[in-house]
Every structure is written in C-alpha cells, then in structure tokens.
Chain A
Amino acid sequence: MPFQRILVAIDGSESSEHALATALELAGLTRATVLALAVEGPLPAYAATIGEVEEVRREKDAFFSELVERVQARAAGAGVALETDVRPGHAAELIVQYADEKGVDLIVLGHRGHFLRDRMLGSTADRVAEHAGCPVMIVR
C-alpha cells in the first residue's frame, strides 16, 4: 500500500532539508500528504531573569515562523499537500507521539540536527527509529 501520510521532522538543519526534499519527492510519487513537524527545544532551564527566557522564546518564534513559511513554499512549489505544526517538547518523544496521533505511515528524518546536545546524547533519528510504530526513513 502506498504511503498516504508522511511525517517529516524539520529543524532548519542541512540534514532536515534533505529529509524534507525526500519526503516531498516521495509524496509527489504516491500523492501523499506531508506533515511537517518542527519541535521547539526547551526554553533555557533555570534562568535567572525573565528577559533571558523571553529573548530565547522570541528567537525561537521568529526562527520557526520563517522555517514554516519556507517549507510551505517548497511544498506548494512541488504541488504536494502539506500540514505544518510547531510544538514544544522533547524531539524524539514528540515525533513518535505525533506520528501515532496523526496515523502516519512513514516518518522521514535527517540523520542529525543542528544542536551539539543531539550529537553528544545520541541522535534524535536513532531514538525515533527505535520507538516509532511505523517505518522510519533516515536521510543523509
């Protein structure tokens, strides 16, 4: 059965751009809908001032607004139906949970994100591949 709903995780990294391109290509072939999920990392833990929290929050908002607009433009250019969502949380946990919630057939992920902590603690892709309830494609 061809894929009907493809989830792609986006974070603006080069790796996630490759994943998005692959997801759009697959969706074009199978006439699937792409669900692009951006996971916002946590606000600074144990902040000393509200200003520090608000600044990071604003930066994230601006970054993800621009990211979503860019992804929407690429999907429109490829003629692929797209749903976008931005949610705060732990990346691997949220991607797996979101895939279940939305009845996704395939998860497409870049092999690594752009934060040092992803590289130090093991990649999100590894953890999603281990816990997802559907096929996972990791794109290099």
Chain B
Amino acid sequence: MSSIAIAALLAATVLVASMASVEIGLSVALLELLAGVVVGNAFHLDIPSWLAFVGSFAGIVLTFQAGAEVDVPQLRREWRASVSIGLVSFFAPFAVVGLLCYYGLGWDRRQAEIGGLALSTTSLAVVYAVLVETGLNRELVGKRLMSATFVTDIATVTGLTLLFIKPNVWIVPFALVSLALILGLPRLAPRFFSRYGNRVIEPEIKLVFASLFLLMWLGQRSNSQAALPAFVLGLALSGHFVTHRVEQERLRVVAFAFLTPFFFLKGGMNVSTSALWANLGVLGLLVVGKMVPKLGGVYPLARRYTAPHAVFTTLLMSTGLTFGTITSLYGLNAGIIDRTQFSLLISVVVLSAIVPTAIAQRFFQPRLAPPRTARGGEVT
C-alpha cells in the first residue's frame, strides 16, 4: 500500500474514532489506540516513516501539555501529601514490575526498566475526569489526588530521561538550551504573545513547536531524549497558560486534530494480537505486577491523606494511559523492547485505564453528587 493510501486509510480511521467517541462517550485516544490495533492487524501495515515521525513529535507535545496542565500553586500547597502518595505510586510498581520483568520474565535490564516505567504511571486525565464527575475536584481530597498524580508523572518523565541517557558531548548544549528555554520562555511569553498572538497564523504555537523540535534534535544528538525538558518547559509555562486559556486551547486543537490521533494510532498499530494471545499468562502477571504494588503502596497513605475516600483514591491512582503509552512507544522506537513486549505493556496500560476506574466508579464513588453545573432556576 502506498504512503498516501495509508494516510487516507488512517485519516478515515481517525475520523471514525472521533465520531464513535462522541456517540458512545469513550475517550477518543482510547478509541484511536483500539482502531490502530484493528487496522494494524487487519491490513498488516508497515508503519510509514511519516507516521513514525508525527507520532514521535506528538508524544513530546503530549508530554509538554501534561506539564502545562500542572497546577503549580496547588502542588505547592499540598506538597507533603502529594509527594508521598505520588512517589509511592511511582516507585512501588516501578520496582515490582521491573523486578518481575527482569527475574520472572527474563527481560534484560533496559527492557525491565521500560516495563517498570510504563506500568508505574497514573493517568492525570482519567483521574481528572472522574473527579469532575463526582465534584471531588473542588474538595481537598481531589486537589491532593491531582497533585499526587502530577508527582507520579514528574517521576515517570524523569525516569524516562535519566535511565536511558548515554551522554556524549552534545549533552552540554542540550542541557544549556533546555535551561535557556525553561527559564527564558516564561519571561519572553507575555511580550511575544502580546506582539504576535491572536492571529490565525498562530506564531505562539509555532514558537512552542520550534522549541520542542529543538529539544528533540538536541536530545537525539546527545543520546538522551526530550521528555523531561519538554515536561518541565510545559510546567514553566503553566502559569502563563492559566491566564491565557485561548492560547492553550489553540495548541490543544492543533494537537488533537492532527498530532495525537497519529500517536495513538501508531501505538495501536504496533500491537500484535497474536503475540498477546500467545502470552496471556504474562499479561495477567504484568497486570498483577502493576496493580498490587500500586494498591498496596498507595492505600496506607490514602487512608491518612484522603480519608474517607481512601479506596476510591487508591483505585484512581492505579489508572494509567498516556505516559504508559509514551514510555512503551519510546522503548519500541529505541529498539529496547520488541513488539511482543510492547503489545503486553500497552495492553496492561489500557486495562489499567479501564478496570480500576470502572471499579472505583461502580463501587466506591463518593455520593457527593453536587450538580457540576449551576444553571437551574425558576421562571413564573
């Protein structure tokens, strides 16, 4: 199949996934991932180079956006609870899954580290959606939970960058440029955005993309990768985006319309259903390897910091999706893990997005149920 034919097929798949998402109320990312599995396995497509490139860039954009979504003042206010829950939520599954992969499944050290990282994540978006639904996002419990999730995310991107670094001389310009962007862009942003912002040609988005491409290039040259600086750059700009929501929205529109669909499709297309079928036992082990340490590690802290919703909190901290996918795809693209290992990790990531959330909502959802909207009224 030619490159343009694959593009047409994938564009149609993305469109169908978006429509299905609206109709059935499931996340478009999850549907794109599942659509990728179907398309990839049904048509046995090779991933074209343009898709690999767009997917890699989209992963960095998603990481940047995750940083930009961090509520820094809230994180500062709740740092004690956030740091303890967030770090345990990261380290417990990272250690257990890493050891399980290394000693139990015979993966090499780097493969085991990718496994541990991919399954240590907590999904900020899944947690956020459930908190908004329940009204808990306005309560202290919800704020602590969000902050703890930020900490887990920070730990994951830090691990992803530091564990796989093999520095050469390019690490110096990479570090210097990263610092310059992280310190300089928040200072430059107000002037730049007021001079060039609010135009359909979107210079502000181009500034962000140029910065991210620069980080990706330097990361590649220095045998490192751009996840950590991209996340921290997003974090540094989060304060700016709080007061400039429209700019953040435009960035999201560009990302959701063109970039992230191909990231999740690419993830799905790399999943081998036959490899999964042949390794169902391993899949079960990895699910247990993620869930047991997450639940066991977070629950005692949740009882202390998020009572009386400790079980609910613990289950939500066990969810994962975006960073698990980013980490697994990084491992596959870098040749660290093979397609079978990737298929297993992605499947556990998707299961961890669905199963703990469904259990939390079905059996442990707090009965606050305040109206999320306040548009009621009376006319006579």
Contacts and interface: CB of A to CB of B under 8 A. Distances in A.
Q: For A40, A43, A68, A76, which residue has the most chain B Cβ atoms within 10 angstroms?
A: A43
Contact of A47 (B125, B248, B255, B369): B125
A48 B322 contact: yes
B290 to A, nearest CB: 16
A51 B61 CA distance: 13
A123 to B, nearest CB: 15
Contact of A42 (B25, B126, B252): B25
A49 to B, nearest CB: 5
A41 B25 contact: yes
Given A42-B133, A46-B126, A49-B260, A83 B376 contact: yes
Given A64-B373, A64-B375, A81-B379, A53 B322 contact: no
A88 interface: yes
B27 A45 contact: yes
A40 B373 contact: yes
B69 interface: yes
A88 B377 contact: no
Interface in B54-95: 62, 65-66, 69
Given A40-B373, A64-B373, A116 B260 contact: no
B129 A68 contact: no
A49 B29 contact: yes
Could you tell me the dominant secondary structure of chain B's interface residues?
A: helix
B30 interface: yes
Contacts of A100: none
B26 interface: yes
Interface string A75-117: 1100001111111110000000000000000000000000111
Q: Is the interface on chain A under 10, 10 to 19, 20 to 34, or 35 or more residues?
A: 35 or more
Nearest to A65: B375
Interface in B313-362: 321-322, 325, 353-354, 357
A40 B322 contact: no
B125 A48 contact: yes
A126 interface: no
A18 interface: no
B129 A84 contact: no
B373 A49 contact: no
Contacts of A53: 125, 128-129, 132
A61 B374 CA distance: 9
Q: Is the interface on chain B under 10, 10 to 19, 20 to 34, or 35 or more residues?
A: 35 or more
B256 to A, nearest CB: 7
A117 B378 contact: no
B26 A44 contact: yes
A130 interface: no
Contacts of B66: 49
A116 B126 contact: no
B378 A83 contact: yes
A101 to B, nearest CB: 11
Given A83-B376, A86-B375, A88-B371, A48 B321 contact: yes
A46 B357 contact: yes
Nearest to A57: B132
B380 interface: yes
Contact of B379 (A43, A44, A82): A82
Interface string A57-79: 10011001100100010011000
A84 B125 contact: no
Interface in A1-55: 40-53, 55
Contact of B357 (A45, A81, A82, A85): A45
Contacts of A64: 373, 375
Given A44-B27, A117-B23, A117-B24, A86 B373 contact: yes
Given A40-B372, A88-B371, A46 B379 contact: no
Q: For A61, A86, A117, which residue has the most chain B Cβ atoms within 10 angstroms?
A: A86
Nearest to B358: A45
A116 B23 CA distance: 6
A86 B376 CA distance: 6
A55 B252 contact: yes
Contacts of A45: 25-27, 30, 129, 357
8 contacts: A43-B25, A44-B27, A45-B27, A49-B252, A52-B29, A55-B256, A83-B377, A86-B375
